[in-house]
Structure 1
Amino acid sequence: MRLTENQSAPLFSATDVYGQEANLNALGGKSVYLAFERNAGCPVCNFRTHELLKQADFFTTNNITVLMIYESSVEAMKDHLGENSYPFQFIADPQNKLYNLYGVERSFIKVMRGLFNGLLNKVTEGNKLFSKPMKQDGHLDRIPAEFIIDKNGKIKLAHYGKFVGDHVPIEQLIKLF
């Protein structure tokens, strides 16, 4: 079931790929950007993550916690992330517990719709950003979703993609904080 704006965000506690706790309840008093991507080998998700990383100073300066959820295993995520350090927490959810908690959907129709909405360009650009070839290990029909959770734990933005690659534009995302 889809979540809506102004409702309380479902709380969860998870361990990120580096063993650090990501506890939504403990983040009270901080804004949170929660992004559900597809998998570590998804070039469209890689492209989006790089877009967000370019805004890392904005997130840090404004005390915004960024949680990135992927269907990949911890091993696949670590392989993808390499030895780099990141200002975001990356959470592996191959059992789809968090995806189900937030109502993140799967749809082959929306995958096909992406072909008419710039998907191939994002695939090309995202592939260029991989440091090495990656294999996709999640559901190919997973559609991304994004949430902004305010300091009081309320959902300020619930964006469920209309197609693969449908993310809130960075400029709009920044304005929402």
Structure 2
Amino acid sequence: MKFEIGQSAPSALLETILGQRVTIPDSGSAWVHLQFRRFAGCPVCNFHLMGLTRRHEEVRAAGVRQVVVFHSTREEMLGYQAQLPFDCVADPHKRLYRQYGVETSIRALLHPSVFWSGMRWVLATRRFYRRAENGILGLPADFLIDARGRIAAAHYGSHADDQWDSDHVLRLVGTAARSGDLSQPSPRGSAS
């Protein structure tokens, strides 16, 4: 099942690779940008996360908590994602991927930008991935979830490099705040 705008996101209590708890929805943040990436060493995903890291404070200031899920083990992720400033969650059994309808496809590798993004990460870090837990055919997905658990925006990637960047997330949050169509969280302690 693929989610659409306005539907309720599945509630989840997650643990990050650093042992912190994350809830979806998150009543402490106006928004959660829930990101499904591929395997921990994916050069395309890691290049994308470098860009999100540079703009993390700006995105957080807009009330967005970023949660990144990989279909790898915690141990594998610690070698690639431990230094990231946002919440990173291991889902090696792809439980969340199934709940959110995130798929795999040979198309994951067929877009020209996939090679270019991956190569830029390798050149910037001089790192190569050791293994691709759960394969290399995973597709990314992005969801913007409000504090009440409604999906404000959803994107299922058509290839490995088809992911939201910080500008897109900030535009979505700005549009949602201006439109009034999406419920904004109530101040703490007030009635919903």
- 8 Å Cα contact 1:80-1:134 kept in structure 2: no
One-letter code aligned to 1:111: A
Correspondences of 1:66-77 after superposition (within 5 Å): 66-77=66-77
Of 136-145 and 22-31, the range deviating more from structure 2: 22-31
Q: TM-score, normalised by structure 1?
A: 0.89
- 8 Å Cα contact 1:29-1:152 kept in structure 2: no
For the residues of structure 1 that align with 2:124 and 2:160, how far apart are their CA atoms? 18
- 8 Å Cα contact 1:32-1:148 kept in structure 2: yes
Tell me which residue corresponds to 2:119: 124
For the residues of structure 1 that align with 2:153 and 2:75, how far apart are their CA atoms? 31
Tell me which residue corresponds to 2:49: 49
Tell me which residue corresponds to 1:153: 149
Q: CA RMSD in A?
A: 1.7
Pairing 1:140–2:130 present: no
For the residues of structure 1 that align with 2:68 and 2:126, how far apart are their CA atoms? 19
Judged with a 3 Å threshold, the aligned counterparts in structure 2 of structure 1 residues 16 and 7 are, in CA distance, closer, same or farther, namely same
For the residues of structure 1 that align with 2:75 and 2:98, how far apart are their CA atoms? 22
Max Rg structure: 2
One-letter code aligned to 1:5: I
Q: TM-score, normalised by structure 2?
A: 0.82
Deviations 1:21-56 (A, max 9, x none): 111144365211000000111000001111111111
Percent pairwise identity: 28
Q: Which runs of 5+ in 2 are unaligned?
A: 174-192
Tell me which residue corresponds to 2:99: 101
For the residues of structure 2 that align with 1:64 and 1:100, how far apart are their CA atoms? 24
For the residues of structure 2 that align with 1:152 and 1:96, how far apart are their CA atoms? 24
- 8 Å Cα contact 1:14-1:91 kept in structure 2: yes
Aligned length: 172
